[in-house]
Chains A and B, each alone.
Chain A
Amino acid sequence: MTTATARTETPADEGPTRRRPTSRRRSVRTAERRWGLLLAAPATLHTLLWIGAPILVAIILSFTAYDIIHPAQFIGLQNYATIFTDELFWRSVLHNVIIAAIGIPISMFLALVFAVLLNRSVPGQGIFRVMVFLPHITATVAVAMIWLWIYNPSQNGLMNIVLGTLGIGPLPFLTDPDLALGAVILVTIWQGIGLKMLIYLAALQGLDGQLYEAADLDGANFVQKFFRITVPMLRPATFFILITSLIANFQTFDLIYILTEGGPANSTSVVTYRIYQTAFQEFRVGLANAQSVILLLILIVFAFLSRRIVGGTDGD
Chain B
Amino acid sequence: MATETRPTTAPPARGGSREKSLRSQKRTASTAIMVFLVVSSLIMATPFLWMALSSIRDPTELAKVPMPLLPQDLRLENYTDALTRAPFAIYARNSLILATAAALLNVAFGSACGYALAKLRFRLAPAIFGWMVACIMIPFYATVIPVFLMVRHMPLFGGNSLLGAGGTGWIDTWWALIVPGAISPFMVFLFRQFYVSTPSELIEAARLDGVSEFGIYTRIITPLIKPGLLTVALLSFEAGWNNFLWPLLVTTSDNLRVIQVGISSFRQEASTEWHLLMAGTTMAAVPMIVLFLIFQRYFVQGFAASGIK
Contact of B2 with A213 in the complex, beta carbons under 8 Å: yes
With A131-B41, A150-B47, A154-B65 given, is the CB distance from A32 to B284 under 8 Å? no
In the complex, residue of chain A having the shortest beta-carbon distance to the beta carbon of B187 = A43
Query: Which stretch, A75-83, A85-93, A202-210, touches the partner chain B?
Result: A202-210
Which residues of A are found within 8 Å of B277, using beta-carbon distances?
Answer: 145, 149
Cβ contact of B7, chosen from A50, A122, A213, A316, cutoff 8 A: A213
Give the size range of B's interface with the partner: 35 or more
Shortest C-beta distance, A20 to chain B (Å), equals: 14
With A32-B213, A141-B260 given, is the CB distance from A295 to B120 under 8 Å? no
Shortest C-beta distance, A162 to chain B (Å), equals: 10
In the complex, residue of chain A having the shortest beta-carbon distance to the beta carbon of B249 = A280
Cβ contact of A190, chosen from B44, B182, B285, cutoff 8 A: B44
Which residues of B are found within 8 Å of A307, using beta-carbon distances?
Answer: 133, 137
Bound complex: CA of A315 vs CA of B308, how far in Å?
9
B147 on interface, CB distance cutoff 8 Å:
yes
In the complex, residue of chain A having the shortest beta-carbon distance to the beta carbon of B152 = A68
- B interface: dominant SS: helix
B309 on interface, CB distance cutoff 8 Å:
yes
Which residues of B are found within 8 Å of A158, using beta-carbon distances?
Answer: 46-47, 50
Bound complex: CA of A29 vs CA of B120, how far in Å?
9
Interface residues of B in 133-184 (CB under 8 A from A): 133, 135, 137-147, 149-150, 179-183
Shortest C-beta distance, B243 to chain A (Å), equals: 8
Which residues of A are found within 8 Å of B238, using beta-carbon distances?
Answer: 137
Which residues of B are found within 8 Å of A141, using beta-carbon distances?
Answer: 242, 244, 260-261, 263-264, 284
Contact of A289 with B264 in the complex, beta carbons under 8 Å: no
B13 on interface, CB distance cutoff 8 Å:
no
A23 on interface, CB distance cutoff 8 Å:
no
Which residues of B are found within 8 Å of A58, using beta-carbon distances?
Answer: 142-143, 145-146
Shortest C-beta distance, A293 to chain B (Å), equals: 7
Bound complex: CA of A58 vs CA of B148, how far in Å?
11
Contact of B149 with A128 in the complex, beta carbons under 8 Å: no
B6 on interface, CB distance cutoff 8 Å:
yes
B89 on interface, CB distance cutoff 8 Å:
no
Contact of A7 with B208 in the complex, beta carbons under 8 Å: yes
Bound complex: CA of A300 vs CA of B136, how far in Å?
11
Bound complex: CA of A54 vs CA of B33, how far in Å?
51
Bound complex: CA of A158 vs CA of B53, how far in Å?
11
In the complex, residue of chain A having the shortest beta-carbon distance to the beta carbon of B29 = A222
Interface residues of B in 20-58 (CB under 8 A from A): 29-30, 33-34, 36-37, 40-42, 44-48, 50-51, 54
Contact of A156 with B146 in the complex, beta carbons under 8 Å: no
With A46-B182, A158-B50 given, is the CB distance from A212 to B288 under 8 Å? no
Contact of B7 with A216 in the complex, beta carbons under 8 Å: yes
Which residues of B are found within 8 Å of A55, using beta-carbon distances?
Answer: 138, 142-143, 146
A179 on interface, CB distance cutoff 8 Å:
no
Contact of A51 with B135 in the complex, beta carbons under 8 Å: yes
Which residues of A are found within 8 Å of B245, using beta-carbon distances?
Answer: 253-254, 257, 276
Contact of B208 with A134 in the complex, beta carbons under 8 Å: no
Show 27 A/B contacts (Cβ-Cβ < 8 Å), sorted by A. Answer: A3-B201, A7-B208, A32-B120, A37-B124, A39-B116, A42-B183, A46-B182, A53-B150, A55-B142, A118-B37, A130-B293, A132-B44, A138-B289, A141-B242, A146-B51, A155-B65, A158-B50, A212-B2, A244-B307, A251-B141, A253-B245, A254-B260, A258-B267, A272-B141, A275-B144, A279-B145, A299-B142
* Given A47-B185, A140-B244, 15 extra CB contacts under 8 A: A17-B208, A35-B217, A46-B182, A117-B33, A117-B37, A127-B41, A131-B42, A135-B47, A139-B241, A150-B47, A198-B300, A202-B307, A212-B3, A244-B307, A300-B137
The 10 lowest CB-CB distance pairs between A and B, nearest first, are A36-B122, A209-B2, A36-B120, A43-B113, A54-B146, A139-B242, A57-B146, A303-B137, A54-B143, A35-B213
